[in-house]
Structure 1
């Protein structure tokens, strides 16, 4: 008996010291002998009572503590509630959180420990539910190295001893059901680590957060949104994206359009305006810079803290669902930038979550990005991989997103990425490959493609890593597409050259075809190319104003007739002369000026052409769809090539100098009558309107290894797209 009392006393001491891993051992209702003993902890309470069906029993305070107890004589477990007084005559009655059984099942804990719980976000985090007939919120988090975890919030004056959680065996998962707690409550987890430090953390699985600069998580009720995109999802599941046009408009919601007084618009306000614009411009998809909650505006979302929460800057999770559903109703897919490569060091975030390097790698040679001041996930830990995999699944399943563009893949693949000798640790085989990250990426793509057919995963990967877009079962990483950074850099470097010197850089245009079909490539002119002093795309073009706009129109025609999917960052279609400014909306007044309006109209027409003419997209990722006519005319800086489908072809001729080239002979695969279907020098695009007229009749003279030829007038600094209208019989 003495031993039992000592044990209870030790438990109480640990509870009051904020170090108890299982407060249910002390709190709640326990049978001891003939009596049921009810204990409750209530910081700040002046008095407490146990409320039974027919009486109230006063509770005694343990001297100099906030622990109250009462004894009840009953043959079976009594049904009871608690009452507390604030000392000013105000009493509050509530259910005792410590009388409820656990909610998380052993199978869920097992799957999490194995790293295989793709719906982990339904288990961890904060979830409104009904438990044992009582409405409330179940809280759960993973903190295996903590001595104590508590739920704190507005509802308990942020007091760490008010709602301590219990740990579930050796899983490291802490859980507590708080009855009667309403949705929209602000909360965090107060964690006491082995280092005796207190860490106040936002919920890693939180579904919503306070608007910055506040950092608390916010309890969300079950979604009431009613989706209307069943037809879209069914079509997507059967979508042959490798043979379809994919033209992506990349944007940041905060700076695409704004309201009065530069106010940021809500997801619901942006949706119809964006859908109208993308539909008119012919884009197939919108790609959002990260909306996973992030603390710092200037990071543009690339340093997230909420991997399961759309940022509160633009509204609620259901507002975001409306945004996606509306774009789907207009035939536009939505891709989200997603950042599994690193996370910020903010004190309320994942960094040293339970006082130890939990989500990040403990070794700074693997766990820190010196360039970005961020921390790197520990991909070798099953629970961390599960966290990220569940995040990817969450966005695709809960928000019906059509794809994830995975940021900074190169930094994940290489242990020596942006590191000097001695600052990185080789893998077990002595190489620089991050084997754990590679396994994670393969798991990611296996999960997303298996669970969500038709969705895309797109890698921002800037190196020559092999088989990024090849299936995992043949040794690839399994991505749908990869950004073609080499093509982008070569094209922009070439276009920045004064035309007189371009003949010496001709290989920058032709080299890309040596590897164009080694991966499923997307051609990106992204936000990264119009920030940090790189200048806007228009700003990179050489020459006077006429030449700069002509160069930009030519660049876009080259992009849309080159093999691969397309991506263009917002504002590039307006020929913005300035770099992107993320604190203000795009300068929409530019379209009132003829040259800018001409570029915008060209982008629209290129999108329509790309979508309507199958030779431009049928074999986006196959050499079957491309054929050189002439890639050797460096002296005159001219390219000529074919784009093909099974039956038809288009002939593309590009003149990268401001010289009008008369009587320029180009080989043609078939004799007959051709016509220009697009000319970037047209007056409709504010060009000089040099053209070849309505009909171009081939000549029987063989040229460039072709049976016949066309004699063309090549407009200055422009491209033309020719279509066979009638073949010779």
Structure 2
């Protein structure tokens, strides 16, 4: 027997690794590769084993470059083993050779785990609030080497491997270590860096290979139609927005002026070739525009990674990754910072209500219904052909709560508008009898979703003072915007869907018929203070055949413009924060489509430019006059002046706030000028006209009161006799 043969025999005897285990390593079916590969103990020595396809020889070194011997190739597939001249376990690297040359491999199986017992404890409990620092793909330094730590939750998988451009997408190369207490798989892969494409290859409990899965915690994804995740890529941005953040941390958002421009980042404007603007290009154009228009915030339709453009981002496959459509993640960080330096807040549309069925996403992630319910009566959304998160599973709840915290921490966003809350709250949402499962009490409430929303709001507000959460909730679920400790869901605000529906329905009517539907306007004040409301004229009202806001108004073109201007004046004078979808601030004529930019050329027409000027002036009046915003959410800030003149379709009310002059809002929703019309006012004195939506500069007829009216005592209290323009809103402020 030769020396080499004797050495092989010794290794084989000491190692006690069976041929079947070697075959399992080579085939990628071994249940615990860390028990076989890397540095292993064998009686009185340490052995090293490695699987390096294509290698013909393998020399062993310490990370510092000290030679430790040569491993023996035991078969043609690239399995090597042999003793190493070290006394204690430590990371190793190999010099591999074949006929084509040589290359270096640092052995991932010679490293210990990265996650620790406290991670296991908090992950297992579902209370980990730094999950995005632990799961996913993070560039770190570990045991003397730099590389990427991968970790993913897949408790029912038989095997999980990292595959990517660094291992020929071969799932046999980097099978991961299972932390059995949590179902998390992890591996540290040395010698790779940020910017590498990867996915997870998952073998389910039944032995079936799943479609390659993107990382649920990936911070960056490839540009569609590619679907791989990209390693690390946290925003390496030096923030300069401390002043902005400190202001909102100390402010009561309910008493601040909040006027939101809702934006679809892909179609606000486009490049000449029709492609999307980058975040930096959007920053150069959108931030100055929104600031000049007087908006306090921009709210983006979902910007998380999503495969299908016409979903507008509402079917996301990468909740932690800003979409690659707009460039690298740092670009979004620069946008937010730039917006903050200009005094503009940034709100994200956030979608925890459902997720798509795309094969590379969360669906059937580890071969089982992991993130979704197995029963389609709970786990399938009939409206959108999507899946529903299993809010009763603590790991899913933690995944979502951590995502809300992630956007607040890593990108400094000012708020999250939570989409489709009603679809989460009700088990029978959009379902017929027999298509849903009642709760334990036999009711329709989804108490698991309620707990999730409460936990999310507690975590966000508890760790990031200054942020706001806004619910799109279309039913009368009680206390949506009340604190959790008072039995509420804990949101800061709720969209007032009733306001949007009733007012648009009213204004679509012929002015001659509006007097018969007066309560469509007055009814909203019955519940105006039941929640902290945002008044939304959102994207949902200008798509799917609904037409633009301008098109919804009754009458000929002149009446449509006049009515829209009156409506905006009415809305900016109405209690509640404001939201307007992009393009509606200049009366976009066409229905919105994500496939084309807004019709900016319309601003060359005086009527459209007039609407833009009005919205700008309304925003600045709303911001500068405390009575218009400081009690938006409290009933003492509102008083009816005229609520019952259905014959003339006139509405008037006062807005008030402590230690400031009151404001009167008067709206005429008929095309008839009302002259010498008595309006009761809170106090006598001179009332200055700060907005007249019929002004010629806005495209109106110029009817008004020469800029001011005088209120006098007439036996029935203070009142002014004024001219009310046709299809117009007046906003008057008492002069000090």
Question: Which TM class, normalised by the smaller chain length?
Answer: over 0.9
- Residue 25 of structure 1 corresponds to 35
- Residue 70 of structure 1 corresponds to 82
- Aligned with 2:394 (options 379, 382, 385): 382
- Aligned with 1:672 (options 674, 685, 688): 685
Deviation at 1:14, TM superposition (A): 3.6
- Residue 596 of structure 1 corresponds to 608
SS in 1 for 2:28: coil
- Map 1:47-126; keep pairs closer than 5 Å: 47-51=57-61, 55=67, 57-63=69-75, 65-72=77-84, 75-77=87-89, 80-85=92-97, 87-126=98-137
Q: Distance in 1 between matches of 2:112 and 2:366?
A: 25
8 Å Cα contact 1:598/1:685 also seen in 2: yes
Deviation at 1:54, TM superposition (A): 5.8
- Aligned with 1:479 (options 488, 491, 495): 491
- Aligned with 1:15 (options 25, 34, 50): 25
Q: Distance in 1 between matches of 2:631 and 2:91?
A: 70
Identify if the C-alpha distance between structure 1 residues 45 and 3 changes in structure 2 by more than 3 Å, giving closer, same or farther.
Answer: closer
SS in 1 for 2:174: coil
- Residue 318 of structure 1 corresponds to 330
SS in 1 for 2:644: coil
Matched, 1:490 2:502: yes
- Residue 198 of structure 2 corresponds to 187
Q: Tell me whether 48-57 or 554-563 shows the greater mean CA deviation.
A: 48-57
- Residue 620 of structure 1 corresponds to 632
Q: Tell me whether 595-604 or 225-234 shows the greater mean CA deviation.
A: 225-234
- Map 1:510-549; keep pairs closer than 5 Å: 510-549=522-561
Q: CA-to-partner distance for each residue in 1:323-357, whole Å, 9 max, x for gaps?
A: 00000000000000010111000100000110000
Identify if the C-alpha distance between structure 1 residues 638 and 65 changes in structure 2 by more than 3 Å, giving closer, same or farther.
Answer: same
- Map 1:624-639; keep pairs closer than 5 Å: 624-639=636-651
Deviation at 1:398, TM superposition (A): 0.6
Q: Distance in 1 between matches of 2:601 and 2:456?
A: 42
Identify if the C-alpha distance between structure 1 residues 221 and 610 changes in structure 2 by more than 3 Å, giving closer, same or farther.
Answer: closer
8 Å Cα contact 1:244/1:618 also seen in 2: yes
- Residue 142 of structure 2 corresponds to 131
- Residue 608 of structure 1 corresponds to 620
Identify if the C-alpha distance between structure 1 residues 282 and 73 changes in structure 2 by more than 3 Å, giving closer, same or farther.
Answer: closer
- Residue 165 of structure 1 corresponds to 176
Identify if the C-alpha distance between structure 1 residues 57 and 654 changes in structure 2 by more than 3 Å, giving closer, same or farther.
Answer: same
- Aligned with 2:587 (options 571, 575, 579): 575
Structure 1: gaps spanning 5 or more residues? none
Q: Distance in 1 between matches of 2:66 and 2:133?
A: 39
Q: Distance in 1 between matches of 2:89 and 2:624?
A: 73
Deviation at 1:427, TM superposition (A): 0.3
- Residue 6 of structure 2 corresponds to none
- Residue 161 of structure 2 corresponds to 150
8 Å Cα contact 1:20/1:147 also seen in 2: no
Q: CA-to-partner distance for each residue in 1:200-225, whole Å, 9 max, x for gaps?
A: 10100000000000000011345431
SS in 1 for 2:287: helix
SS in 2 for 1:538: helix
Q: Distance in 1 between matches of 2:331 and 2:650?
A: 50
Deviation at 1:198, TM superposition (A): 1.2
- Map 1:243-392; keep pairs closer than 5 Å: 243-392=255-404
Deviation at 1:257, TM superposition (A): 1.5
Matched, 1:660 2:650: no
Deviation at 1:169, TM superposition (A): 2.5
Q: Distance in 2 between matches of 1:447 and 1:126?
A: 24
Matched, 1:651 2:651: no
- Residue 686 of structure 1 corresponds to 699
Q: CA-to-partner distance for each residue in 1:66-123, whole Å, 9 max, x for gaps?
A: 32222335554476421223x4422111211111010101111211111111110000
Deviation at 1:701, TM superposition (A): 2.1
Q: Distance in 2 between matches of 1:560 and 1:668?
A: 19
Matched, 1:39 2:49: yes
Identify if the C-alpha distance between structure 1 residues 235 and 75 changes in structure 2 by more than 3 Å, giving closer, same or farther.
Answer: closer
Q: CA-to-partner distance for each residue in 1:472-502, whole Å, 9 max, x for gaps?
A: 0010000000000011000000010011111
Deviation at 1:583, TM superposition (A): 1.5
8 Å Cα contact 1:50/1:70 also seen in 2: no
8 Å Cα contact 1:21/1:165 also seen in 2: no
- The alignment's C-alpha RMSD in Å is 1.8
8 Å Cα contact 1:21/1:166 also seen in 2: no
Identify if the C-alpha distance between structure 1 residues 118 and 79 changes in structure 2 by more than 3 Å, giving closer, same or farther.
Answer: closer
Q: CA-to-partner distance for each residue in 1:457-482, whole Å, 9 max, x for gaps?
A: 00000000000000100100000000
- Map 1:390-429; keep pairs closer than 5 Å: 390-429=402-441
SS in 2 for 1:343: coil
Deviation at 1:443, TM superposition (A): 0.3
Q: CA-to-partner distance for each residue in 1:664-716, whole Å, 9 max, x for gaps?
A: 112222222223111000001010000011332234324xxx51321111101
Identify if the C-alpha distance between structure 1 residues 512 and 4 changes in structure 2 by more than 3 Å, giving closer, same or farther.
Answer: farther
Identify if the C-alpha distance between structure 1 residues 54 and 344 changes in structure 2 by more than 3 Å, giving closer, same or farther.
Answer: closer
Q: Tell me whether 7-16 or 633-642 shows the greater mean CA deviation.
A: 7-16
Q: Distance in 2 between matches of 1:685 and 1:12?
A: 80
Q: CA-to-partner distance for each residue in 1:408-437, whole Å, 9 max, x for gaps?
A: 000000000000000000000101000100
- Residue 721 of structure 1 corresponds to 731
Q: Distance in 2 between matches of 1:79 and 1:617?
A: 63
Identify if the C-alpha distance between structure 1 residues 383 and 96 changes in structure 2 by more than 3 Å, giving closer, same or farther.
Answer: same
8 Å Cα contact 1:43/1:159 also seen in 2: no
Q: Distance in 2 between matches of 1:600 and 1:33?
A: 82
Q: Distance in 1 between matches of 2:26 and 2:607?
A: 72
Q: Distance in 2 between matches of 1:74 and 1:514?
A: 80
Q: Distance in 1 between matches of 2:518 and 2:721?
A: 23
Q: CA-to-partner distance for each residue in 1:496-541, whole Å, 9 max, x for gaps?
A: 0011111111110000011000000000001111000010000111
Identify if the C-alpha distance between structure 1 residues 126 and 287 changes in structure 2 by more than 3 Å, giving closer, same or farther.
Answer: same
Q: Distance in 2 between matches of 1:559 and 1:589?
A: 26
SS in 2 for 1:253: coil
Q: Distance in 2 between matches of 1:63 and 1:94?
A: 19
Structure 2: gaps spanning 5 or more residues? 1-9
Q: Distance in 2 between matches of 1:136 and 1:266?
A: 29
Q: Distance in 2 between matches of 1:663 and 1:357?
A: 69
8 Å Cα contact 2:54/2:77 also seen in 1: no
Q: How many residues align?
A: 722
Q: Distance in 2 between matches of 1:565 and 1:64?
A: 70
- Residue 5 of structure 2 corresponds to none
8 Å Cα contact 1:638/1:656 also seen in 2: yes
SS in 2 for 1:272: helix
8 Å Cα contact 1:34/1:73 also seen in 2: no
SS in 2 for 1:383: helix
Identify if the C-alpha distance between structure 1 residues 694 and 105 changes in structure 2 by more than 3 Å, giving closer, same or farther.
Answer: same
SS in 1 for 2:601: helix
Deviation at 1:577, TM superposition (A): 0.6
